[in-house]
Amino acid sequence: MTASKHAGLVLVPLFLFLCALTASCGGDSDNQPGADELTEAVQPLPLPGPYAVASSNVAQDFTRVGSGEDVTSYWEGLPSDDGAARYVTDLLAEPDNTLIATVTAPQDSDLYGDFAGQEVEFVVLVCYPTTSDNPRPDYPLDPPQTDVVLPHMQTGLEGPLFADDSARYPIVVFSHGYMGSPISSNDYFFAVTVLASYGYVVIAPFHGDLRFSNLNIEEIDDAIAVALNLENFTAMQALRPLSISAALDLVLAHPQWADHLDEIQIGGFGASMGGETMLLLGGAGLTTSYFDLGSSWEQITLDERIKAAVGYVPYFGQPVLPAFGRNQRGLDGIALPFLGISGTADTTAPITEAENGISRLSGTRRLVALSGVEHEFDDASSGDIFTWTLTFLDAEVRGDQEAAGRLSTMGSVEGGGDDSVLVF
């Protein structure tokens, strides 16, 4: 679910050097994931689901985007050429009516680098199930940059119009990939609206990653680029789960939303680095040093409100630069139920790292392999992706027994791409 494809790790000499020093590449031999034979092929769920979808207020004044600027730079937090900060807050037409969460980074310079102790804002988009006759108009975004349209967007002091005003809806917190935003691409926004169309209230902060770490996307799988820019790259990774928790706090306490949300039934969905973010929310340890061969890792947070999470092409790092400590050991014993959906041709988030990491989890776990899929949203596999996702979330978050029974025997989704279970 990224806007571009990325080259694989090509620093072979560095890889061999590190392997020689560690005498081990990949996971321990006694902890390799196995593949249980799950044989049921289920029908794909219809997309979108049964509910119309509406969105919270993120109205913007696009006249503030300067000549030669790209509005996505604001959504993604990319500084200007002269180093001036840019973020979506600069464009908000109704900031007082927009959900904005605030995070104060802990006073820990090892984790938060230059941002330790600083207060950081995160704009939050919420999409939710609404009535089929919701009269509010759709809100098109800046047409030259994106064809995303926010459905039935609230404006002014308007509150949400839920499909059932007396119901309490389950929640999914949503984390986009590195250098993205919930509205930068149709891939991310499609995922948000599909989840909402199946009855979830989806809470999606604009992480604004490039405010903290401005690595080019081509360098995300470049060992030297990451290692030499680790301080603020780590800060960016560590702030992501804190922004999710802050967004959840904000919406759960908001008078327009609080009475319509089920604060017990909360799950998560993350794409690419958003998958890493979900595991950090579950208490995983984040790599804090690559120069001691990835053996240093530290827990960032633990948000026990998150009952289960899904990662699409989830980022576990590279074999010599693991995201969760050496051999992904920062995941040992993590109990968060987790479904990973990975592409077998993904070089940015290799499926081998996902296998090693997910096999270390102690809760309900699945890794679904999409044959031939790279680090991108695969349109042909949409039915597979969201049937797995919704079945898993319905079972683990909603406690749906029918979904749980289906998950216990589910081996693939009919049609679409070629999907199979690697870790069970």
User: Which run of H or E residues covers position 103?
Assistant: strand 99-104
pLDDT tens digits, residue range 293-336? 545 899 999 999 999 999 999 999 988 788 999 899 999 999 99
pLDDT of residue 232: 85
pLDDT of residue 7: 30
pLDDT of residue 6: 31
pLDDT of residue 19: 37
CATH code of the region 48-379: 3.40.50.1820
pLDDT of residue 34: 37
Nearest to 341 by CA among 287, 307, 378: 378
pLDDT tens digits, residue range 228-241? 666 788 999 999 99
- Distance, CA of 129 to CA of 149 (rounded, Å): 16
Long-range contacts of 382-385 (CB under 8 A, 24+ apart): 382/47, 382/416, 383/44, 383/45, 383/47, 383/413, 383/415, 383/416, 384/44, 384/341, 384/412, 384/413, 384/416, 384/417, 384/419, 385/312, 385/341
pLDDT of residue 422: 84
pLDDT tens sequence for the chain (424 residues): 433 333 333 333 333 333 333 333 333 333 333 345 578 999 999 999 999 999 999 999 999 999 989 999 999 999 999 999 999 999 999 999 999 999 999 999 889 989 999 999 999 999 999 999 999 999 999 776 678 999 999 999 999 999 999 999 999 999 999 999 999 999 999 999 999 999 999 999 999 999 998 875 454 555 566 666 667 889 999 999 999 999 999 999 999 999 999 999 999 999 999 999 999 999 999 998 766 654 589 999 999 999 999 999 999 998 878 899 989 999 999 999 999 999 999 999 999 999 999 999 999 999 999 999 999 999 999 999 999 999 999 999 999 999 999 999 999 999 988 889 987 7
Whole-model pTM: value is 0.90
SS3 113: helix
Backbone angles phi, psi at 179, to 5 degrees: 65, 25
pLDDT of residue 424: 74
